[in-house]
Amino acid sequence: MSPVAPVTNAPPANGTDDAQADADPPISLDIDVVHEDGDWAAVAGADALVREAAAALAAELAPIEGEVCVALSSDAQVAELNGSYRGKPAPTNVLSFPAVPMLPVDGEPRFLGDIVLALETMRREAAELKLPVEHHMQHLAVHGILHLLGYDHETGEEAQVMESLEIRILARLGIPDPYAAAGELVENS
């Protein structure tokens, strides 16, 4: 298990830019990346890619605070989870499991939930869409975290809001609009 890595925009330690520090809303999104199953060494810097995606999301939605666990897994594991929790015993690209709301604990970030990424599905979709696997992985991470924050795409209006956010967040990472690729495959979480 990787240690939790906070994504934050805390003011500079030297205190030289107090006006800027006061203007920036607080961002604290702790991301714990765990390698559950699959050969994720095939995706160079997978942990860093997830954290970069989370940082871009946090910057776009500031102020935001919370903790998320991202499990890097395989199609087999995701198919099992998908069958158990959604009645769909097949792999999918990303699953989101929002945490049960709990009373806040002083000094502790609120646990938002877990997301699980399926390596083989993610890589296959990236190839089909002719996208760098790193871009597709970051899109799936953003998509999953947005679900944990209550965003959805069940209706056309919800989908428009969520997709617009995804496009803006991914633009912060230099990733072009993923919905410009025909038949975008982020639909199952």
Task: Tell me which DSSP letter residue 152 carries.
Answer: -
Determine if residue 136 is labeled as part of a ligand binding site: no
Q: Taking the chain, what is the end-to-end CA distance rounded to the nearest angstrom? A: 23
How many CA atoms within 13 Å lie on the side-chain side of 175?
A: 24
Largest interatomic CA distance in the chain: 55
Closest CA to 43 of 118, 145, 112, 147: 118
Determine if residue 153 is labeled as part of a ligand binding site: yes
Determine if residue 139 is labeled as part of a ligand binding site: no
Tell me the pairing of strands 94-98 and 111-118.
Answer: antiparallel
Pure H helices in the chain: 18-23, 46-61, 75-86, 119-129, 133-148, 156-172
Phi, psi of 48 (to 5 degrees): -65, -35
- Please state the residue numbers annotated as binding site: 143, 147, 153
The annotation places the binding site for Zn(2+) at 143, 147, 153
